[in-house]
């Protein structure tokens, strides 16, 4: 069979409310998003591993709150110009690691402005603040006062739902037994699921094959993406 190289044209990802896969792993985090503006503190930290749906939840909150997505370096300028503004900062732990102590001072100042001007802020991160190696004690104190929601490891039902969404985002229609096969054999990791679906998409396009169970089993074993 003639093989075709993947073109890498990308794919759409739906962040609509009806396309959010909800399970025990993220139900509490979703409840926090829905509870705005009744948060007990002006800032909420949303924690979760890569691929866990933090951006999906953040987009839902942004639409609900009319929030402005900003990077950490520019947040104080936005909040100074528009007191009381709702803002979203994604991957804040990565930004702090890359920008160092100057970024810590920026975030500390932003949290002070937030409390002063009665705005709201959602911050997403992969790791808990105690793992951020912060130098500024006052920032650690401010973060401890913030509300916190954590996306936990998924159960089997959620893994199946996430797989179905990842396939649908890429307009892939695997055979019905494929998802059950993967659920029983894959690592319990959102990041692994995304890598797995990407690998199957690439392999199916290259080989011009449908996602049948034999093809999926062969591909994932070759890529070492199943146990």
What's the confidence (pLDDT) of residue 19? 75
What's the confidence (pLDDT) of residue 5? 34
What's the confidence (pLDDT) of residue 6? 38
What's the confidence (pLDDT) of residue 3? 34
What's the confidence (pLDDT) of residue 1? 34
What's the confidence (pLDDT) of residue 35? 96
What's the confidence (pLDDT) of residue 60? 95
Residue partners of 143: CB distance under 8 A and separation at least 6: 45, 111, 129, 134
Q: Could you tell me the pTM of the whole model?
A: 0.79
Q: What is the DSSP string of the chain?
A: ----------------GGG----TTTHHHHHHHHHTT--SSSEEEEE--TTSSHHHHHHHHHHHHTPEE--GGGHHHHHHHSTT-EEEE-SHHHHHHHHTHHHHHHHHHHHHHHHHHT-EEEEEESS-GGGS----HHHHHHHHHSEEEE-----HHHHHHHHHHHHHHTT----HHHHHHHHTTS-S-HHHHHHHHHHHHHHHHHHT----HHHHHHHHHHHT---
Q: Which regions of the chain are under pLDDT 50?
A: 1-9
What's the confidence (pLDDT) of residue 118? 85
What's the confidence (pLDDT) of residue 8? 45
What's the confidence (pLDDT) of residue 7? 40
Domains of the chain with bracketed CATH = 26-150 (3.40.50.300), 156-223 (1.10.8)
What's the confidence (pLDDT) of residue 12? 56
C-alpha to C-alpha distance for 60 and 44, rounded to whole angstroms: 14
């Amino acid at each position: 069979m003639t093989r075709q190289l993947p073109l890498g044209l990308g794919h759409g990802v739906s962040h609509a409310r009806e396309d959010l896969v909800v399970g025990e792993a993220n139900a509490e985090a979703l409840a926090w998003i829905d509870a705005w503006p009744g948060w007990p503190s002006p800032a909420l930290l949303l924690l979760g591993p890569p691929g866990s749906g933090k951006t999906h939840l953040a987009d839902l909150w942004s639409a609900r709150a009319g929030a402005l997505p900003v990077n950490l370096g520019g947040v104080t300028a936005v909040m100074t110009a528009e007191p009381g503004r709702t803002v979203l900062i994604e991957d804040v732990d990565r930004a702090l690691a890359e920008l160092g102590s100057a970024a810590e001072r920026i975030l500390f100042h932003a949290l002070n402005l937030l409390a002063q001007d009665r705005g709201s802020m959602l911050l997403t991160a992969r790791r808990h603040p105690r793992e951020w190696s912060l130098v500024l004690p006052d920032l650690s104190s401010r973060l401890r006062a913030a509300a916190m929601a954590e996306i936990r490891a998924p159960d089997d039902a959620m893994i199946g739902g996430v797989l179905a969404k990842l396939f649908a985002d890429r307009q892939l229609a695997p055979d019905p037994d494929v998802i059950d096969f993967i659920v029983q054999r894959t690592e319990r990791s959102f990041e692994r699921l995304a890598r797995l679906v990407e690998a199957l998409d690439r392999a199916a396009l290259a080989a011009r094959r449908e996602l049948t169970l034999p093809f999926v089993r062969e591909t994932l074993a070759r890529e070492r993406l199943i146990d």
